[in-house]
Chains A and B, each alone.
Chain A
């Protein structure tokens, strides 16, 4: 069955770089796109960016200067790197299977990231 699982550090120092991995199963990264979405506690989600099935990427312009999304199809993994983290980057980070005009139909369990010294 379709599964996505995020992994990465739960605590990041201010100004440091966040590195997260999304490991997928039950579908191919060359057939489906994956988006990263984050959500501060008690607030609405924010779309961060998308790894298209063809390897192209799209980013939220608000984060573009700090964000990079890449993948390793042989390992069924999508990676997120975001630099210069600040306290307002604290929240839960999700990877999702993004079916574009059919919505995000599968979500990982999320990884809680706290930016604090």
Chain B
């Protein structure tokens, strides 16, 4: 199975800051990566697919990048509604696997 390792596990940042969340795959996943946002008590929501394609309706302050085994999610101009947990997920190979998540809080 492809292991997805996310860092950091938790993050505290100020409003207006830029934050970056990292995701490392245990092998090359050829950009087969999605990012999800999960607000407390809610279902996950798709943000990014194919490592860098913004899902419809997602604010442009979210962006994804990376290749090979290393990927990142960047949030520009952090807003209060961005408080959530963020998960990466690879779909390059079965079984599809998720990272353990990054919990983002406002400082």
Chain A positions within 8 Å of B, measured between CB atoms, are 35, 43-47, 58-62, 94, 99-105, 107-110
Contacts and interface: CB of A to CB of B under 8 A. Distances in A.
B34 A103 contact: yes
A107 B99 CA distance: 18
List the 3 closest A-B pairs by CB distance, nearest first. A103-B34, A103-B49, A47-B96
Nearest to A92: B43
A103 B46 contact: yes
Contact of B87 (A35, A44, A105): A44
A60 B95 contact: yes
A44 B91 contact: no
B89 interface: yes
B50 A44 contact: no
21 contacts: A43-B101, A44-B87, A44-B99, A45-B87, A45-B89, A45-B98, A47-B96, A59-B95, A60-B94, A60-B95, A62-B95, A94-B43, A100-B91, A101-B91, A102-B49, A102-B50, A103-B46, A103-B55, A103-B91, A104-B44, A105-B55
Interface residues of B, number: 24
A82 to B, nearest CB: 15
A47 B97 contact: yes
Contacts of B91: 100-101, 103
Contacts of A47: 89, 95-98
